[in-house]
Amino acid sequence: MIAVLVAVPLLFAFLTALTIPVRMEKYAKYLFLAGALLPWFVYLALGEGSGVVGNWPRVGGIEVALDAYNSLLILGELILFSAVALYSISYFKREVKALVLLLLVHASLLGAFISRDLFNFYIFMEIASVSSFALVGLSGERRATRAAYKYLMLSLLASYFFVFSIGVIYLKTGYLNLELISRVPPSAEIRAAVALALASLLLKAGIFPLHLWLPDAHANAPSPVSALLSGAVVKAPAYGMVLLSLYLPLSRTFREVLLGTAFASMLFGVAMALLQKDVKRLLAYHTVSQMGYVLLGIGTLNPLGAVYYAFAHMLFKGGLFLSAGAMVDKAKSRKLEKLSYRGDPLLMLSTLMLSLAIGGIWPFVGSPAKAVLLKGLPYGKELFYLAGLGTLASFTKLNYYLMHGEGGRSGALVLPSFMMALAALLAGISLGAVPKAIDAYLLLGGVLLFTLLKASGLLEVKLPKREITPKDVNIGAALFALFLLLLLHLSQG
């Protein structure tokens, strides 16, 4: 029954594609909406549990599960995809190909989140990636095509190493099922395979210093696709890391490296976001930062903390990209000084709510998610709060620009982002967000930091305008190779 979650959007992707040869494209959006929304009924009807598709023995079958580690991720994906679907039917109108690709991403993400064996997880993650490449380059514009190419090449590099690591694990254990693999005593080969898999997943998740593909891909994709990429697609590799940490325990040295990488990603992403004047690149660099928070949960053996934060990030980052998309699509520009939410109270309210949510301010979902991560943090709380302060300063900058100028009403495109803002609020209350005095200090600190940076002229620094070239792929591949060698060395220590 759990597998039906995946089967429904796959079926409707096929039916939506079928409208092209039979020349019934005008019905495509109805089939698309059915494929987007029907998995809700399946999810709500299911309880926690696991099973093997077709009742085959676990050793040769495909095990799927719904439990504390993936329920929230599936819920987050369903909320975000519903909002993206509503935006997409206005945005793509009769571009049936885009709707089919979106349903493939939907199905594959649900498939990755319910998987309990490495190979099926890999297959679903790849379907999501391949569909995403096509969606990023959909506009056909030169910059979008180049961003899609860069994303494709670096993601494929990671995929080859990930599937190689699965092969090594299978050769040494005879299993692909994670529960069965965990029963085999770890060997040097398995530890090396885990290092390969982790490096690959870090690249696919866009974590610093393996993030080079992410700002270009997320910024140049169509608005609803940016929301889906940043909110949900990077969560599939993050969930892969959660699975590895649950079933193949990581050594202390390994966890220390992941912890350092997490802090570096959190701070680097925020610093780069503060310097951006392109709203979508600003949000994209925040994804690099926020994925550092998710990695923090994995590095501190706090997988539930990682899952909570990944869920929170789905809501507020997906919503922020949809809010930005409404402004960008109306103004036909991504430059901050040309955008405004003045004249549209609902869009202003949504953006402000989501900005508070990403800052971890009560009562929004970022608050309990950060609290769960902090509980498991052995040290580095100063860096944690510093990254939070930078995030609030960055979103003060965003709202400072958006409060100027004349934006006017964006129409129905505002509703999906408002839906995500409400979800961020309700999820925060449901997860037990508690008001804390430190929230007020952080909020004030964020505003002060922005004021100081602006007064010093640092925010006016012009970043060099550069083209996306094949050289970027070489640099990304070199960084991946260095990081991979480091993890392989540590795995044998």
- For residues 203 and 266, state if they share a domain: no
pLDDT the model gives residue 463: 81
Whether residue 404 is predicted with pLDDT greater than 90 in this model: the reply is no
**Number of structural domains, the chain?**
2
Cα–Cα distance between 138 and 145 in angstroms, integer? 8
| pLDDT tens by residue, 455-490 | 999 888 888 777 888 899 999 999 999 999 999 998
- For residues 482 and 353, state if they share a domain: no
Q: Which band of pLDDT confidence, cut at 50, 70 and 90, is reported for residue 491?
A: confident
- For residues 186 and 84, state if they share a domain: yes
Among 205, 195, 143, 131, smallest CA distance to 168 is for: 195
Among 484, 476, 366, 482, smallest CA distance to 427 is for: 366
Say which amino acid occupies 213.
Answer: W
Whether residue 405 is predicted with pLDDT greater than 80 in this model: the reply is no
Whether residue 236 is predicted with pLDDT greater than 80 in this model: the reply is yes
Q: Which band of pLDDT confidence, cut at 50, 70 and 90, is reported for residue 250?
A: confident
Q: Which band of pLDDT confidence, cut at 50, 70 and 90, is reported for residue 161?
A: very high
3-state secondary structure of 281: helix
pLDDT the model gives residue 366: 96
Whether residue 249 is predicted with pLDDT greater than 90 in this model: the reply is no
Buried-state track 424-457, b at ≥16 Cβ within 10 A, e below 16: bbebbeebebeeeeebeebbebbeebbeebeeee
Q: Are 128 and 236 in contact (CB under 8 A)?
A: yes
| pLDDT tens by residue, 179-209 | 999 999 989 999 999 999 999 999 999 999 9
- For residues 13 and 131, state if they share a domain: yes
Please provide the average confidence, as pLDDT, over all residues in the chain: 94
- For residues 240 and 260, state if they share a domain: no
Phi, psi dihedrals of residue 45, rounded to the nearest 5°: -80, -15
- For residues 308 and 328, state if they share a domain: yes
Domain containing 221: what range?
1-249+462-492
- For residues 300 and 346, state if they share a domain: yes
Cα–Cα distance between 445 and 440 in angstroms, integer? 8
Q: Are 294 and 229 in contact (CB under 8 A)?
A: no
- For residues 239 and 286, state if they share a domain: no
Q: How far is CA 84 from CA 36, 199, 239, 350, in A?
A: 9, 30, 21, 15
Q: pTM score > 0.75 for this model?
A: yes
pLDDT the model gives residue 56: 87
- For residues 381 and 446, state if they share a domain: yes
- Of the chain, the percentage scoring pLDDT greater than 70 comes to 100
| pLDDT tens by residue, 93-132 | 879 999 999 999 999 999 999 999 999 999 999 999 999 9
Structure tokens at 468: 């996306």
- For residues 225 and 345, state if they share a domain: no
Residues near 391 by Cβ (< 8 Å), separated by ≥ 6? 270, 286, 289, 358, 359, 360, 446
- For residues 123 and 76, state if they share a domain: yes
| pLDDT tens by residue, 11-37 | 999 999 999 999 999 999 999 999 999
- For residues 126 and 270, state if they share a domain: no
Q: Which band of pLDDT confidence, cut at 50, 70 and 90, is reported for residue 60?
A: confident
